[in-house]
Structure 1
């Protein structure tokens, strides 16, 4: 629901409550209720039409204008409102059910301009002068008509006299830690709304940016990522990965629909509001299995003025207070964190945000932000991790096209520096593991992947990376099991579905590979990896016409990627279309004269054409390039024509695969 425009936007007062339609807040003396967008819209519409009964159809059309939803969603919204307002169907102090018609808001309502309801400057100043050491966490008791746990973070002055802009990093890290630990504490604490069944899986949905400035999306996404990262360390909780939850950014789907799609018991939802000189972050944990029961909620509020980096120390003190509910390693991870300036963390957030975009230009943009962060603070370890990932992306066919032999040492160097500064960064261990795999250091790669999983048991990239490593060594069943875990942690990621399909391809379980790749394309039409892995799986399954159609489509939308041209040549040859195979091979040769083309496409091409001498010539070059193809040699189906040759066994021994 859009708030009325103009400076006279009304604030509605009724009973002890105040509804601000522009800031989208429901406030009372006990705190601010963290309403979901749909629940807020339901209440606001009822209040704005208090003089009459509003039909259920009218409410459904207004709250879900572009969706067809069941009436039960509206019923749950009304139930949630009654619980928050301390109302009931029998008492109907606020919301009256009119049988056979709909609902009516019956409490007396007073409308006034927003500025009248805004806290006075004196009140703000009083809050502003609370020091970091006096930061207060105010909890309201659980009960009818109250918020389960309302927390207000009050800003502080720098004891060293340093002024400056609002510290986004302090807010993000403090909020992320408090949210993550509060969820963990909730599961073993009395005094909160409970469910008969324990929460064993959850997803943190993208926090809604309620600020007027769309440029603040990276800020809201940064908080979301941080919360996911904190929760990913939980061993007894399955936490859905970022890629999948971001599919629900600005969604109109209901809580049960989202929970069913992600296969989780509960959802963390919330919003970020940056208005004037204040930031307010609202989060709540919802049990999706029992009529969207609100299990836990927190409110975080702070000034945009002088805020100390000591807010990070507040998060650390909270970690210490729940030490008995955390492992010693997790306690060290949190308390080992260090303050960082707002400018550094803003560059880091913008760099991470850029890496999520598919365009090639996004990778250099991300690198520029990471390098800017490190120029300001050379000891900020996460920026080195981001830089490591960016170098790795530059060495891929689709996003970079640079020689992997040049990018790999840079990626490793950045990850190693990150771990020197902070050994608890799971993502940096994943980067090291992937590099060691490409250098055929199998035990080192295995150790690094498992170290990452020890730090973050819910890290989907570590699961799929270790899956590929095990399959490459012939440990098929172990690898497939890990791939399935990765898929469960990132169920709506097209890239993850494609990678699981790739795992089945190496396992020579082509029907399953085809099914996963088709699922990838259902999630994201025409994604490069899904098409490529589907095409090569169809090729090995002997379904050549389908494979050629898919690979030709993939080549067309990928600017004739060399990797795809190599697979297409192989498929043409296996299908008996030799002239087409030679034509595509000539295209690869011409491309090589004007720019970098990796060796692996030529290996696939000549293997398909049956020219083994040329295939081995290019295979040797691929070895020198530390090509991905080399770690796949033992299981790659396209290498079957070469396996009987002694040169192949010799190469397997050189990379410790035989």
Structure 2
């Protein structure tokens, strides 16, 4: 009996089986999450050309502009699984502004598997034994010719039972009790159906938190807090978090959750407000089901000193994950707990830096450079401060404009420091990629992306 044929790709010493979502290296299974596996398969199947970022987003993220670092992490996971992280890339090529292409060796195989004959024979053997045991008391049995082989297990069992009647009675009582217990357990299981749990929600949009103060100067705090929540939630593996660019398109608008679901393809929204007055901050947030508007979780009003903002953010992130019914593993917990800095003054400068950088104006970028520089001076171990400083210098060449050589020298120094402090910070590697692109070091920039 034949099963449906399956396609398998041999990628040098790796085997990729799309129908089973299986990747192995010399027979040893390699774990690759669902989304990177899908992207790898797509690149292999379209290896004759570059596949653009927009095409991948359209195929696997419903055409939505997901968090900016999501696709880079996805390709990075593929390269790690294929051990494709040397200077000379062997499997995935990145071309700036064009897209990605699979460049490694490929051999296609069609795999057909047959149902095991051994299993069929075993099944039939069991059936024959049962039939023998069912008919062993038939009077006609004595009239059958004696078999030429050794006595069957059933006949031997009958002889044993005749010689040891007490053992037989006890065995039968035990068997009857076991069957009775099984019947009782089965009936109880049927009487009480298995409890079902609501499905997880695997996508969320963090909408811009409303600034309730009358001071426009406080806008940086509400916008920065929103961006920080986007970054924090995006660390949860398997959770799609809509990027800042898409989420902030709804800033200042009264919206229906179903409208956001329609436009962005998400299952839930996180929305709320911030009021910062002096050294105190008040935060209200709630998590809403985008399909029906039902509130999945609503916070109590956080009315605390500004210094408690780190604790507030941690509580919001964990409660959001719980409201989405996500099961966080140990690595997810570690990533959620990660902070850019523990210094509230440095954190305030980070929020200002991001707010001014996102304006992409000459005056905004000048302020961003100053804010990121102050954040680094306050907390010399804050990698994000140096990554932001590097990005602001690089962008300042085009927007301010800054003198290119001096600006890129400053950007390079800041990017190197960011990577040294935190080699796992995506923003640090993106800043380094910008520097390497400016130096025309394409392979180096690709590795950073």
The structure with more radius of gyration: 2
Taking CA–CA contacts closer than 8 Å with sequence separation of 6 or more, which of the two structures ends up with the larger relative contact order?
A: 2
